[in-house]
Amino acid sequence: MSLSRRLILVVFVLFLPPSVWAEAPRVSRIDNGVVRVGVDLDLGGVITELGRSDPKTPNLINSHDYGRQIQQSYYSGPQPFGKAHPGWKNWPWNPIGTGDAYKNPARVVEHTNDGKVLYVKSIPMQWALNNVPGDCTFETWIAFDPASPASLLVRCRLNNAREDHTQYPARDQELPAVYTVGTLHRLITYKGTNPFAGEPVATIANAGPPWASWTTPEHWAALVGDDGWGVGVIHPGLYHFIGGFHDKPGVGGPKDNPTGYIAPVRQEILDHDIAYEYSYVLTLGTVDEIRERAKALRPADSRPNFRFNVDRRHWTYHDLADAGLPPKKGLLLSATGSDAYALAPEQWYPAADVPRLHLTAANLTTAPIRGFLFWRGPGESFHDDRKVPFEIPPTPNPDAPEPVVVDLAAHSGYKGTVAALRIDLDPAPTIPKATPFLRLDALSWRSSTRAD
């Protein structure tokens, strides 16, 4: 190369814009020839890239700020937590996978990629605080779905190690938070009551935040473009989603402000030392293709069959607390207020398929514990005209309590689709608060307490 050409090259490089000098992100990818996915190892290892296998095709994930991407995000008390960013006042404990509102990134502490499975372990950041790592770690496993080349199986785990041992009330959890580019602006789902029967889908029109919320018994939602193709999020067995679209629809790439949002949500109690896991599916395709994948992944049996020997099975409380996880045999309950009840997760089934329920619990007091089993239909609230009473006598042998049969079919209002259950308990007023009065072992449609 001549001296003059070298000088021209030097001058050209010197006057390049600063963005060109920025270090490229460390993205770890897997690709099966149909779909590609990538995680940014400089941003907590969250998913920052998703698209067709051809690298010339668009990346469908939005990374305008550290609160987007596809990432784990969890909520618990206290609220407020720490000295929050002015734009996020009164924010609770909320570690997220990418980084915080001040643009301090989360840190990857372990990463493997064998071309088939991506694994990342990271220390998240408290979203609303300035450079405060979460008192926990996140783990993520990403693999190809062997039954669907356009789909990815994602498993997530929160490992809590909080010094604050308070059992805070349940909160909605984003399972996960998914942000797409602005060209995927049509939010599609199914909101009816007859799942997987070919009924029309619905379009969610929302300019958030705040985001729209809905119930879907098909457990999926999708953000697609004008051509009807895009990203589907499937969380089998989960009924509640939130989502919407922010800013100008139909335009914008990964770094622009317009974005679509989907999050399957469920209320969970997050103990100070919990190891909390969930799994979901990301799939590329048309709405019909996404819906068919969700149909193939639907739970085989949604009848209530809860055994509380490992965890809470997604149950939550009002004016109740338990002794923490894992339970020694069942959930050791104590009252924290005068209106004590436990709520089952949403789980739809025909009432005719479950005429009675078997409640296995050890009464740890010397007097009968009376209660009611409530049920509600889809989109309804619990009402006093939909409940059946039961009584748990003192348990002579707490290691082997006898199940109490709750005859639901005897109630004239027990029919149609049941969407959720609630157990109301009436501990004797002489029992001090925070004193265990009941160990809840199981609630099942089976006469045996064996869980699936």
User: Is 13 among the domain residues?
Assistant: no
CATH number at residue 170: 2.70.98
Do 276 and 328 have their domain in common? no
**pLDDT exceeds 50 at position 6:** no
Q: Which of 243, 274, 297 is the last residue of a domain?
A: 297
Q: What pLDDT, on the 0 to 100 scale, is given for residue 427?
A: 76
Do 92 and 184 have their domain in common? yes
Cα distance between residue 60 and residue 24, in whole Å: 19
User: Is 4 among the domain residues?
Assistant: no
Do 284 and 414 have their domain in common? no
Do 316 and 221 have their domain in common? no
Query: Which domain does 349 fall in, by range?
Result: 305-444
Do 214 and 102 have their domain in common? yes
Do 274 and 377 have their domain in common? no
User: Is 427 among the domain residues?
Assistant: yes
Query: Do 388 and 405 touch, CB atoms closer than 8 A?
Result: no
Do 112 and 77 have their domain in common? yes
Cα distance between residue 445 and residue 358, in whole Å: 6
What average pLDDT does range 219-226 have in this prediction?
98
pTM over 0.85: yes
**pLDDT exceeds 80 at position 314:** yes
**Domain total of the chain:** 2
Do 139 and 224 have their domain in common? yes
What average pLDDT does range 395-411 have in this prediction?
95
Longest dimension (CA), the chain: 99
Do 384 and 408 have their domain in common? yes
Do 161 and 50 have their domain in common? yes
Do 263 and 387 have their domain in common? no
Tens digits of per-residue pLDDT, 143-197? 999 999 999 999 999 999 999 999 999 999 999 999 999 999 999 999 999 999 9
Name 212's Cβ contacts closer than 8 Å, sequence gap at least 6. 187, 204, 205, 206, 242, 243, 244
User: Is 2 among the domain residues?
Assistant: no
CATH number at residue 393: 2.60.120.260
Do 126 and 257 have their domain in common? yes
* Band of pLDDT at residue 430, cut at 50, 70 and 90: low
Q: What pLDDT, on the 0 to 100 scale, is given for residue 3?
A: 37
